[in-house]
Structure 1
């Protein structure tokens, strides 16, 4: 075997391992929370902890009425602000950050975690914008 063949094999092994890792993470994120349609999500908004995991400037530009800002980047430090005895409703711009946040919360012992299908982009309910 020459050097080029060995390098190709090593690269393929790395790509396969990375693919398997990403697949495992994908399924872990899917199991961490239940994805709700907009109708299901909006039913109990007054009885849940509604959390926007986008960054503060995105939150200020517009957010679901009643949501509080807890950016994903600060979730680990501020997780204590979220009660474990109440359902947690998460959303972000599309849905990717919410899935990651849900996995972090699930790993920290939270159980009733829900994500808005399609995220804020697809939200047609009431919103609020911060005055500048």
Structure 2
């Protein structure tokens, strides 16, 4: 039986078996990014390798290895292209410690992106500032402690370490050793509980570390509260005086 792929005319026109097979298959419609990406005003991009990304990453982060930037000129994913220079949308790039992300953002900007940003400090700094509610997967306990060189006060580090473990729900009796990992639930979307944890941790990070600034802020808040209470009392007294019926003396 003669088929279209076996005739001489088909061979001359360049029609082969793959062309016939592709005609039978329904062509997928090129869709835009998912609705979950379209609704977000931000796109978080992880520039590390796939193994590191699978180990831990920011919740909802899009994986785009930095090696993709050096392969060809137009090798951006559809997520990056959908957020490129869009009004009201930003793209945040990060790696583990900001070593490769800074160079990658430079290349991204040179390719015409004007809404690209760099996560300062990388994933390690984010894990130390927001140990709960931001990351998913497993990461070393050492990420949650400050590693500033020259500081030899071990007590402050242990106190900070215990505070982080308490925030993660790990008791002091279950203290982990230096080489262990902290495991967080695997998910790709932020929950309401995550948002509450991030909000509380953000408030704690905004509190001044020195006692003088903290006391001054507390005194300022207390003075404002006293002023408001005095104003309310004065208003109530005035209203009570005007509310009494007038009696001739």
Task: Place the TM-score, normalised by the shorter chain, in its bin.
Answer: 0.5 to 0.7
Unpaired runs of at least 5, structure 1:
1-45
Q: Secondary structure at the match of 1:50?
A: strand
Q: Which residue of 1 aligns with 2:136?
A: 128
Distance 2:58 2:111 in 1: 25
Q: Distance in 2 between matches of 1:54 and 1:48?
A: 19
> d(CA) in 2 for partners of 1:47 and 1:66?
13
1:79 corresponds to 2:76: yes
RMSD: 2.0
When normalised by structure 2's length, the TM-score is 0.32
Separation of aligned partners in 2, 1:102 and 1:109: 11
CA distance in 2, matches of 1:75, 1:60: 20
Tell whether 2:94 aligns with 1:100.
no
- What residue number does 1:116 align with? 119
Answer with 1 or 2: which has the greater Rg.
Answer: 2
More strand by share: 1
Which of 60, 63, 68 matches 1:66?
60
CA offsets per residue over residues 34-57 of structure 1, 9 Å max, x none? xxxxxxxxxxxx421110001111
1:56-112 superposed Cα distances (whole Å, 9 cap, x missing partner): 111111001110110101135532431312311010011121111111111110001
Comparing 67-76 with 103-112, greater Cα deviation is found at 67-76
Q: Given the two structures, how large is their TM-score scaled by the length of structure 1?
A: 0.58
Higher relative contact order (CA 8 A, sep 6+): 1
Mapped partners of 2:92, 2:66: distance in 1: 14
Deviations 1:97-132 (A, max 9, x none): 11111111111100011111110011133211269x
Indicate the larger mover: 51-60 or 69-78.
69-78
Unaligned runs of 5+ in 2: 1-39, 138-185, 188-249
Task: Return the alpha-carbon distance in structure 2 between the equivalents of residues 106 and 48 of structure 1.
Answer: 17
**SS of alignment partner, residue 75 of structure 1:** helix
From the superposition, tell whether residues 122 and 47 of structure 1 become closer, same or farther in structure 2 (CA, over 3 Å).
same
Per the alignment, residue 93 of structure 2 pairs with 90
